[in-house]
Structure 1
């Protein structure tokens, strides 16, 4: 029997990733604490996803011979020639990302520089949405890993902005987020610049804004109303959209900046802009939400004198208006927002009655993208008014919807699986900050 065991250990030994999966399964069986099971289950799910990715792109598997070899070499060569693509490109990476990329084997480096592999991985797995907070006063960035147990202090990661890039000074704000990338605008040396940043991998690339001598529209005549970052799937480009409005006659100009080609595009110079941004009732009203190849803004329409969703379609460069749910009483809304929950475009509203000791959170989801008949009221919560501000949903996980109170710094989630309330106070939220929701992905420009 010992000889058989030796022979199996020598010739049929399991690969390291399978041994990790087996070890996690054994630990889950003997775990007694709910928190331990929660953490182990997350680790197991991530390990299984990595196993599937490696099997699909395994160089030692005869079934893959000749299939991915040419794709990887072409992608890596193209990324190096463009100077802004793969892990070995001439882009400005953060220190942590550079160290981690050098620690993996060469086969994984080739995979991470293969655009086709990353795109297929993003489509198959999707991105886990997480909140990101930028504090200009303290010059800090805070990342919150909502995929883990919220009672765990390790979910919060805070670092100084100048450690990410020396040009990240007092003025830094996110102006767009799409497919794992966050477009950041910074002011350094009296000049505004763009940075495309992937918080997951540390990828960082600089783009110079248009020189003032070529700048149109002029600041004195036009006001920036809406902006956002999206992805044009038909041409494979990240495009930053800016919508300006003329002060006196209401004419709008729509401009786009292609991060992929590093050039400005004038999309429409004579748009009849019958929309305006809403007041503080809407959270991040001028910040575009990318979903279903469209950028969305919650706006006030002069035509119907009510709220609407303004959507810009990247496929044809046209705008469309999407109506809100019919049963929304907008006169009673204290605060509202557009978010993505469970891969659906979602409208969230806070309804507060001064005579009641609680306020109501209502959530409508659009199951099929298209019209008013597609909205359905999925969640109605009664939240105790024990602190200043309101709890608004920001993202969803496998364990439930995550709510954040911008005033008190409370982050909360009702765990649907373990039937417990998870919560934590985050200090950086209590101070003035800007929140952005980004996706966890490996993509780059």
Structure 2
């Protein structure tokens, strides 16, 4: 049976599983059941945006079940069809490169429209595939979708990675019972990897690569993987030829300053590309805006805004540019939560432990972020600890001598003694 997954991104940039389904068919009714059941499991919380393949059945279901969700086609699937769709073009290599430049280098919608019309000169005016793509351009061209937050995702390749991850747990001949057990073990492995990165981010530091004070802000706030993305943008300040071309003082109004920044992007030893990006800055409230919209789509400041920050001599940036989505100091209770039913090999003692731990986690979720509630819980726990330590339920021995440790058996008066010390194997200890 086909294995379908809902995949997201955590604050470390890792792929996480939001749900899965085994499909009997790949038609409208089946996808309608899958999406409806998934939304029910997610507390009927609809995603703001979702990546899908160019499947008519999936598109029809999303429009009906999640009408307010923005869906985006996978760019990788579109580009993988170029060799098939352009096989009749005389200069295929040139057409292929121009089509990719048309997608990724169009900085404005007007520029994309103009470049698209110029691209059709290869004799592709009557190409049905291109005509359909143009009709659906708002669902796959980045310039139409960069205003939405996509967590840095460009395609459905993360879903393919999850499928490869499950290959080490299940295969096509696995039974349903084996799949359920191995699925839980696979999720356990994903959670352990996330907990490891959580520990590393909170207990280690990635060294700064500059002397900018605002880089230290990102260092202390972001997880390691997200901070490294910021550092990639900082490196582009050094290795890209970026210059402020002009400052249009006449157009400045209401405290808004507008600049043009030129980037000379070195593709290889003999080919350079030049892009001009418009940057807006409002000193009141420290507001920045860039035409590339990297921050809107990924939550990471682009090198063009960083260039503006350096030029203006700003040392501390506004907290709005340290989004909660990538921070390491935010409590995320889902990380430590497993399945309520427990794993197949879970012992009865561990189940009791998990049940008690769940109550403490709920209390922690309630009081986190409120100092008064936290102090109250701490005081009550101290009182509870004293009461439990002095608790006498009839099992404690009435008297314990210096050679006896432990409790007396309720059915006999024989005390449990310490075991005799045994000499360890190997070479004797020496100073």
TM interval, shorter chain, is under 0.3
More helix by share: 2
State the structure with more CA Rg: 2
Q: Taking structure 1 as the reference length, what is the TM-score of the superposition?
A: 0.22
Higher relative contact order (CA 8 A, sep 6+): 1
When you count strand as a share of all residues, which structure comes out higher?
1
